Amino acid sequence: MSNRRNFIKAASGVAVATALGFGLLGAAQAADPLKVGFVYISPIGDAGWTYQHDQGRLQMEKALGDKVATKYIENVPEGADAERVIRELASSGYNLIYATSFGYMNYVERVAKQFPNVTLMHATGYKTGKNFGNYNARFYEGRYLNGVVAGKMSKSNVLGYVAAFPIPEVVMGINAFARGARSVNPDAEVRVIWVNSWYDPGKEREATLTLISQGADMLTHHTDSTAVVQAAEEKGVNAFSYHSDMSKYGAKAQLSGTTHQWGKFYTDTTQSVLDGTWKPASTWGGIKEGMIEIVPLNSSVPADVKALVDKLEGDMRAGTFHPFAGPVVDQDGKTRVAAGEVISDEDLSHMKYFVEGVASKLRQN
């Protein structure tokens, strides 16, 4: 009985609300918040790629207040499901959608064509359209700075890198880290273990322990869990986190890290959609744009290293220093970027070779 009563109550509530809604239609439309949808590849968790995007969402929500109403859908696999989820958001009034994984690209493109009035933003892809833009972060800038610290601090000169897949995005980060380390320590070498998974804490841990037992005393990772930093802490060596600050998992071990900061970008982009000034673009921002930050150096890092990192960071912010400014020599001794030149964004995003300083071999496909 009480169910029915509740139903009646709810139904009349809806009726009143609808009536009110119609009555206030004119006013309501002006105050209607922009509905912004986020599609995440993995659970938000406490650290990592998706966590950083969600932090960005929260910052944007805070900055824009009741002008926006956001919603996120987590754990959406890169497949036909993604298209369904994105289309559902688009058809239920979400006029701005951020899709935050590379594999969503073709689905985003398809939905963008079907819903010309919806603005779609795709992270880490390369396609654009009339209502479809993409964005990514120059995380290699942070990697370079981490590499400088690693090169300075390493006693064994062996730096370990736990990496997910041999794709340009990951290779670029390894190269930046190696170049940073080599710039201050010509004996440093980077050893890479591919775990062929974005996310497998057990395997990431095994890879870390393997690298440590082979002499690595500085570790970093391009995978999503906190296992690498945690294992380094346990074994008393140092680590550089990726995506998020992981000092909670390795207060002593973590010397620094490279983090993604999407808050300002999401706020600005959403504001431009609100203002009607949005234009399709490919945004690739780094330290200068505030999209990449390094984790403040651990207090165990000496002042001279900190001064060097601060200077380089300042130069990057000023645009006077590029981690891949020539000469860039690959591990076979071939010059890829001549002295005096700077690598193009195009070459950077198709990077398929290891630079000198990386001990592991990259198979050319």
Kindly list the residues in this chain that would bind another protein in the complex (CB under 8 A).
Answer: 42-43, 45-47, 160, 166, 189, 191-197, 199-203, 205-207, 209-216, 225-227, 230-231, 234, 248-249, 359-361, 363, 365
Give the separation between CA 163 and CA 62, rounded to whole angstroms: 34
CB distance 286 to 260 below 8 Å: no
Q: How far is the CB of 227 from another protein (least distance, A)?
A: 5
Q: How far is the CB of 137 from another protein (least distance, A)?
A: 23
Q: How far is the CB of 195 from another protein (least distance, A)?
A: 7
Based on CB atoms, which residue is closest to another protein, 202 or 302? 202
From the list 195, 160, 165, 163, the residue with the least C-alpha distance to 178 is 160
Both tokens of residue 342? 């700077």
From the list 337, 354, 357, the residue with the least C-alpha distance to 345 is 337
Based on CB atoms, which residue is closest to another protein, 189 or 330? 189
Q: How far is the CB of 361 from another protein (least distance, A)?
A: 5
CB distance 185 to 157 below 8 Å: yes
- Based on its alpha-carbon atoms, the radius of gyration of the chain, rounded to whole angstroms, reads 23
Based on CB atoms, which residue is closest to another protein, 128 or 360? 360
Based on CB atoms, which residue is closest to another protein, 47 or 291? 47
Both tokens of residue 336? 């890829």
β-bridge mates for residue 221, sequence order: 162
Q: How far is the CB of 89 from another protein (least distance, A)?
A: 22
Q: How far is the CB of 190 from another protein (least distance, A)?
A: 9
Please identify which residue in the block is written with the tokens 């201050």.
184
Based on CB atoms, which residue is closest to another protein, 110 or 361? 361
Based on CB atoms, which residue is closest to another protein, 299 or 365? 365
| CA 35 to chain centroid | 23
Based on CB atoms, which residue is closest to another protein, 4 or 363? 363
Helices (H), the chain: 2-23, 25-31, 49-64, 80-91, 105-114, 139-153, 168-184, 201-213, 227-235, 263-275, 303-318, 345-348
**Order of strands, sheet of 238-243, starting from the edge strand that comes earlier in the sequence:** 189-194, 158-163, 218-222, 238-243, 254-260, 292-294
* Helix 139-153 with 168-184: angle, nearest 10 deg: 40
Based on CB atoms, which residue is closest to another protein, 234 or 289? 234
Q: How far is the CB of 153 from another protein (least distance, A)?
A: 17
Q: How far is the CB of 75 from another protein (least distance, A)?
A: 8
